[in-house]
Amino acid sequence: MSPFIRAHILVCSGAGCVSSGCYEVYDSLMHALEDQGVLNEVKVIKTGCIGSCDLGPTVLIYPNGTFYQKVTPEDAREIVEEHIVKGRPVERLYPKRATGEMVKNISSLDFFKKQVKVVLRNCGVIDPENIHEYVARDGYEALAVALTDMTPKDVIDTIKQSGLRGRGGAGFPTGLKWEFAQRVNAEEKYVVCNADEGDPGAFMDRSVLEGDPHSIIEAMTIAGYAIGASQGYVYARAEYPLAVSRLTHAIKEAHEFGVLGENLFGSGFSFDLDIRVGAGAFVCGEETALLASMEGKRGMPRPRPPFPANEGLFKKPTLINNVETYANIAPIILKGPDWFRSIGTEKSPGTKVFALAGKINNTGLVEVPMGTTLREIVYEIGGGIPDGKAFKAAQTGGPSGGCIPESLLDISMEYDTLTKAGAMMGSGGLICMDEDTCMVDIAKFFLQFTQDESCGKCVPCREGTKVMLDILTRITEGKGQPGDIETLESLAKTIKNTALCGLGQTAPNPVLSSIRYFRDEYEAHIDEKRCPGGVCKDLIRYEIDSTKCRGCSLCAKACPVQAIHPVASEAEVAKAAGGESGQKPKRKTYEIDNSECQKCGECMSVCRFDAVSRR
Amino acid sequence: MMGNEKKKINLTIDGIQVEAHEGEMVLEAARRAGIDIPTLCYHPAVGPIGSCRVCVVEIENGRGLPASCVTPVREGMVVRTNTEAVREARRTVVELILASHPQDCLQCERNGKCELQELAMRLGIRESRFHREKEHRESDTSSVALVRDPEKCILCGRCVKMCSETQTVGALGFAYRGTDALVTPMFERGLAESKCVSCGQCAKICPVGAIHEKEEWQKVADMISDPDLHVVVQVAPAVRAAIGEEFGIPAGTPVTGKLATALKRLGFDAVFDTQFTADLTIMEEGTELLERMKTKGPLPLVTSCSPGWIRYAETFHPEFIPNISSCKSPQQMMGAVIKTYYADKAGIDPDKIASISVMPCTAKKFECARPEMNGSGRRDVDVVLTTRELARMIRQAGIRFEELPDGEFDAPLGISTGAATIFGVTGGVMEAALRTVYEIVMKKPLGKVEFLQVRGMDGIKEATIDLGGTKVRVAVAHGLSNASKLLKHIKETGETYHFIEVMACPGGCIMGGGQPRSVDSDIAVKRAAALYTEDRSMEMRKSHENPAVARLYEEFLQKPGSDIAHKLLHTTYESVDEAAAASRKEAM
């Protein structure tokens, strides 16, 4: 071991950066360090997700916190040769602000400025495959405190006092859930972690499992102690192989360390943990479907009651929380409920991780105190909308949530305000939409998703969402009829009121909220057969203004279906008619044959003379 | 015991004070209070499912409109079952089902007796506001007993729950998601390729025309019209306990005399009673039991009357095959006797006899088609009709069943005892056997004919009978999950029984897959009462007292267990897996 480490190089190894090649960057760093003979002075760590996924692969160097973006293996060699060996930062790899200004330090990057990291406290900081690093960041101290200084009731009281609410969607008070499970008298109970994160675009749970798996192991063990369970299961989606492999590794390490298994901390309490991998059904995020799937049955929800706290996995009392919820537990035990309540709002204490996606400059994971406004998230952290376009709406809560329009940009992002606005916290997906988005089309997209993922058990969800989807499809095809909006509203009401599980009950939300805030867009589609966002192909036409067209033929060459043909310009035709006979017009303009046009918009984007317009 | 008594709960439903017990669902409490909340997926035989959402109600201070079939009662709960919101939701839900349901009601097996049709009528739905195209799916006609029509399926889940939970067969399950969701045997194969045992419980509780028996009554009508054929019919005990329901006669009314008359009016050349061979079964099986008890094995002896149970054992518990009685079922015994003894006596060429049976059962269709069921040298039974099919035939013929005078079955194969009558209900075969075995062993008449220990609807019943110092341990199981439970218990504990009766259907043949469909939760008890009443009213109540059976032995079969009896009345069984392996080997 080296006596002195002078620099740490953190290589983000979240799934996003893995896809963009961070492992190659890591290898290149290691080779370069070896070539330069400084391998024993510098420690290179593969960390979990740092959060700014659009900039990956990213490399963070301490001390100083120098942040390099979009690093290639060649860049990595340069970083070692220049930054590590010669002390000269590689400035061209700094992230840049929209103004072009370079940001050399991670803490001055706008994306990170407003963030408060509780859940993601270790993500992007430690090596998730090294338990020592977790322990060095106070890991397993909360478990030790709980097991040696606290009674199960103390633990539950602490969680209750913290006001922590379930991060999986509905925001049920976590402490209360623990208390219900604790109160049931049973020899066998289970603790389950719901890691079946399925909302399109949301990946905070994956990041925690990949970047800080021990935080989940620790929290579930504490939960086991609190409710009187000695076995836990993590139900992870099959689409998260990296998370599963890191968690598997972490469980093994925890066993070797004696923080998982028999007689923990000499307390007499034993706890073990296993992983169950799902089979790719969104509905298995619903807790009763999840339990059915864990039991080896088809993932179909069942009516509640009985609630899992009374009759859960294999009919035994079962506590189910999601990954992000568990990630809050250890800090609450260590720092106390008052500390937790000092973050966020009164009704929604703590932080929330959002997955920024869609039409926004900085995409990735951000953790902010509850109550942060949407405006702060979109503009200050997210860096606003690309290409100077206008913000139109943001979808929160994925397919179960709704949209928040521009007029509500100052909404406080917490459970109850979002619900009141017709949206939902959900798991924290936040998809931004700009002026070029069609809200009917968006509603259709989400409904298509829930319809595909409906388990098919109850009529309102299976049949109702399909009928709604058919109506929306008609509307976007220009076949909308008067009364469609009312039918959609009435169906939505019935589905919300009568569907069996959360998936069905929330499925109409995207439609209802888009009707609530963008009714005029629906009306434009139905009454005027017009798509204001310019998205619905059957409702838009591309045309070439012959007075602006210079006949350069770029559009005709770009058209993938050869729908653009040359015609003689009016001026030339007139000239030919009035002038010498037999003379062909020399200059041509172009015209789009709308019967062949696929509405891809390629012609508009290649035209240099602004001659192509969309109507 | 006081400790077992459930806590009383008081709630208000539509302004009525209702007392319920803890764990009861709002739907049940409401129905007891005379409020008939409409349902579609709910069926007393399988309990609540919660999929159709037709039984929604409003609960004060509650969220949404919960389904009353799965909402437990709570103290002080205030429920409203008939508000504007509830009516609107129910209508919408039913319209949504109709949106993709085939509109060919006129050609449907269930026309006029369809729960969806009734519900739509009750809710005043004349047309659906919605329409959605459904992918065309072919009917599954691979099974000899049952037809599945996935296009008509409304995915209520009754059959899946019945097949997997009550019958522990698991031949049917859900596949795919969203509007692609489908009830199907595995890998969308035909039922014939599945582990289906043809018990038909799915068909009996399907609310629509998505699963029903393979209809063959038209074929029988044609046979009757054929002057060259001598068409003989036999009818099982359970049929008389239920067929009246098809004609509006209250459940539990025995209609044996009307049934005999109806069959004659339909034009059958001879009308026999399967009860005759039920008595014959007791003679053969009783002898087998006594022999096995003497020679020590293999015990317990398990009854073989229920073809659904036989197929279940062959499929899921082949290790018990040596225990199963080698006796054919009464239907197959009758078939063999008709085409030998009866043909000979009546002087009719057996090849000109069409042997029809009317059964409460769909598995009987499967049974009569088994290759080994040809003791007479040809198909012993040619066509099996269910009770429902016979009712259809009677209606088509314009016979007003409810007004028919009583008639009688034809001699000699129509003569039977009360012991044979109760074959149709769980515990009945056991009781009939005990009546005979007791008198044969003890060589004295029974004081009390009834063995009440083996009666009733408990899933597994046990009794110990003292036969002059020999304690005979018996058990009765009905419904295949109970049969499976009993067999597992025997395997695990080694508990010894001498004789076990198993019937595939919960309640016995009276609740068979071919019986009239009913949503009455007391239907099994009512039908059982019909058979027990009939038994009490009979002069002869023990199988060995049947003079016609005695004559059959005298004139033809010699004695129970004789070689010719074995040839005609006994059979063998085969493990489904081994049979499949053998046929694979052959094919190679």
List, as one string, the DSSP characters of B357-424: EEES-SHHHHHHTSTT--TTSS-S--EEEEHHHHHHHHHHTT--GGGPPP--PPTTTT---HHHHGGG
Domains defined for chain A, CATH in brackets = 7-108 (3.40.30.10), 131-341 (3.40.50.11540), 351-434 (3.10.20.600), 439-537 (1.20.1440.230), 541-614 (3.30.70.3270)
Judgement on whether residues B80 and B222 belong to the same structural domain of the protein: no
Tell me the longest C-alpha to C-alpha distance in chain B: 78
**Domain assignment of residue B20, given as a range:** 2-97
* Residue B585 in tokens: 């080997």
Q: Which of A310, A461, A467 to mutate to test the interface with B (most CBs of B within 10 A)?
A: A467
- Given a cut of 70, whether residue A569 has pLDDT beyond it is no
Judgement on whether residues B78 and B221 belong to the same structural domain of the protein: no
Rounded distance, CA A469 to CA B187, Å? 28
Active site residue B41: no
Please give the pLDDT value at position A4: 84
Please give the pLDDT value at position B329: 98
Name the pLDDT band for A192 (thresholds 50, 70, 90): very high
Q: Give the Cα-Cα-Cα angle B21, B22, B24 (nearest 5 degrees).
A: 75
User: For strand B301-302 and strand B211-213, is the pairing parallel, antiparallel, or unpaired?
Assistant: unpaired
Rounded distance, CA B134 to CA B122, Å? 25
Active site residue B492: no
Describe the strand order of the beta sheet including A429-434 as a list of residue ranges: A364-369, A351-358, A429-434, A391-396, A402-405
- Given a cut of 80, whether residue B1 has pLDDT beyond it is no
From B46, B75, B97, the end of a domain falls on B97
DSSP E strand stretches across A182-329: 190-195, 231-236, 272-277, 318-322
Q: Is B93 near chain A, with CB under 8 Å?
A: yes
Judgement on whether residues B74 and B222 belong to the same structural domain of the protein: no
Q: State mean pLDDT over A217-237.
A: 98
Judgement on whether residues B234 and B91 belong to the same structural domain of the protein: no
SS3 A572: helix
Phi, psi at residue B359, to the nearest 5°? -130, 155
With a CB cutoff of 8 Å and minimum separation 6, the contacts of B82 are B14
CA distance to A13, A56, A62, A84, A121, per residue, from A43 (Å): 15, 20, 10, 11, 20
Judgement on whether residues B87 and B231 belong to the same structural domain of the protein: no
Active site residue B389: no
Out of B50, B64, B130, the one facing A467 most closely (by C-beta) is B130
Q: Is residue B367 part of a domain?
A: yes
What is the tally of structural domains in chain B? 2
**CATH classification at residue B44:** 3.10.20.740
How many Cα atoms within 13 Å fall on the side-chain side of residue B146? Answer: 32
Chain segment A252-305, per-residue pLDDT in tens: 999 999 999 999 999 999 999 999 999 889 999 999 999 999 999 999 999 999
Please give the pLDDT value at position B234: 98
Name the pLDDT band for B3 (thresholds 50, 70, 90): very low
Q: Is B55 near chain A, with CB under 8 Å?
A: no
- Given a cut of 90, whether residue A97 has pLDDT beyond it is no
Chain segment A294-351, per-residue pLDDT in tens: 999 999 999 999 999 999 999 999 999 999 999 999 999 999 999 999 999 999 999 9
From B70, B97, B124, the end of a domain falls on B97
**CATH classification at residue B453:** 3.40.50.1780
Rounded distance, CA A124 to CA A537, Å? 42
What's the gap in Å between the CA of A302 and the closest CA on chain B?
Answer: 8
* Residue A561 in tokens: 């279906």
Out of A451, A456, A491, the one facing B92 most closely (by C-beta) is A491
With a CB cutoff of 8 Å and minimum separation 6, the contacts of A580 are none
The fraction of chain A above a pLDDT of 70, given in percent, is 96
Name the pLDDT band for A584 (thresholds 50, 70, 90): low
DSSP state of A114: T
With a CB cutoff of 8 Å and minimum separation 6, the contacts of A183 are none
Judgement on whether residues B275 and B403 belong to the same structural domain of the protein: yes
Judgement on whether residues B229 and B360 belong to the same structural domain of the protein: yes
Tell me the residue type at B205: I
Q: Is the peptide bond before B44 cis (omega within 30 degrees of 0)?
A: no
Please give the pLDDT value at position A570: 61
What residues does B356 pair with on adjacent strands? B233, B383
Please give the pLDDT value at position A572: 62
Q: Is residue B228 part of a domain?
A: yes
From B97, B120, B147, the end of a domain falls on B97
The residue from B364, B365, B526, B542 that is catalytic is: B364
- Given a cut of 60, whether residue A352 has pLDDT beyond it is yes
Q: State mean pLDDT over A368-372.
A: 97
Please give the pLDDT value at position A578: 61
Chain segment B491-546, per-residue pLDDT in tens: 999 999 999 999 999 999 999 999 999 999 999 999 999 999 999 999 999 999 99
Q: Give the Cα-Cα-Cα angle A463, A443, A396 (nearest 5 degrees).
A: 115
Q: Is residue B320 part of a domain?
A: yes
Which residues of chain A lie closer than 8 angstroms to B170, CB-CB? none
Name the pLDDT band for A429 (thresholds 50, 70, 90): very high
Name the pLDDT band for A36 (thresholds 50, 70, 90): very high
Cα-to-chain-centroid distance, residue A280:
17
Tell me the residue type at B535: D
Q: Is residue B111 part of a domain?
A: no
Q: Please give the residue of chain A at the shortest CA–CA distance from B55.
A: A498
Chain segment A494-535, per-residue pLDDT in tens: 999 999 999 999 999 999 999 999 999 999 999 999 999 999
Residue with tokens 């298994």: A261
Chain A residues with at least one Cβ partner in B under 8 Å: 281, 283, 298, 300, 302-303, 305, 451-460, 462-467, 470, 487, 490-491, 494, 496-500, 505
Tell me the residue type at B249: I
Q: Is B352 near chain A, with CB under 8 Å?
A: no
Rounded distance, CA A24 to CA A28, Å? 6
Rounded distance, CA B413 to CA B339, Å? 12
Residue with tokens 């015994």: B333
Contact A425, A397 (CB under 8 A): yes
Q: Please give the residue of chain B at the shortest CA–CA distance from A470.
A: B132
Average model confidence (pLDDT) for chain B?
Answer: 95
Q: What share of chain A is helix, strand, coil (3-state, %, to 5)?
A: 45, 15, 40
With a CB cutoff of 8 Å and minimum separation 6, the contacts of B147 are B139, B140, B141, B211, B212, B213, B214, B215
Contact A383, A316 (CB under 8 A): no
Q: Is B52 near chain A, with CB under 8 Å?
A: yes
- Given a cut of 80, whether residue A571 has pLDDT beyond it is no
Q: Is residue B362 part of a domain?
A: yes
Q: Is residue B69 part of a domain?
A: yes
Please give the pLDDT value at position B2: 44
CA distance to A272, B203, B315, B316, B349, per residue, from B368 (Å): 56, 19, 18, 21, 20
Tell me the longest C-alpha to C-alpha distance in chain A: 107
Please give the pLDDT value at position B586: 78
Q: State mean pLDDT over A138-160.
A: 97
- Given a cut of 60, whether residue A580 has pLDDT beyond it is no
Judgement on whether residues B240 and B91 belong to the same structural domain of the protein: no
User: For strand A351-358 and strand A7-12, is the pairing parallel, antiparallel, or unpaired?
Assistant: unpaired
Rounded distance, CA A135 to CA A123, Å? 14
List, as one string, the DSSP characters of A487-510: HHHHHHHHHHHH-SSHHHHHTTHH
Q: State mean pLDDT over A141-163.
A: 97
Residue with tokens 């339909």: B266
Phi-psi group of B108: left, alpha or beta (phi > 0 → left; psi -120 to 50 → alpha; rest → beta): beta
With a CB cutoff of 8 Å and minimum separation 6, the contacts of B524 are B457, B506, B507, B510, B511
Active site residue B142: no
With a CB cutoff of 8 Å and minimum separation 6, the contacts of A366 are A51, A111, A115, A353, A354, A356, A377, A381, A382
Prediction ipTM score: 0.91
Q: Is residue B377 part of a domain?
A: yes
Q: State mean pLDDT over B56-82.
A: 96
- Given a cut of 80, whether residue B436 has pLDDT beyond it is yes
Q: State mean pLDDT over A177-192.
A: 97
Q: Of the segments A534-548, A557-571, B218-232, which one has the largest average pLDDT value?
A: B218-232
pTM for the predicted model, two decimal places: 0.92
CB atoms inside a 10 Å sphere around CB B347: 6
Q: State mean pLDDT over B395-407.
A: 97
Q: Is residue B10 part of a domain?
A: yes
The residue from B156, B213, B509, B534 that is catalytic is: B509
- Given a cut of 70, whether residue A581 has pLDDT beyond it is no
The fraction of chain A above a pLDDT of 90, given in percent, is 86
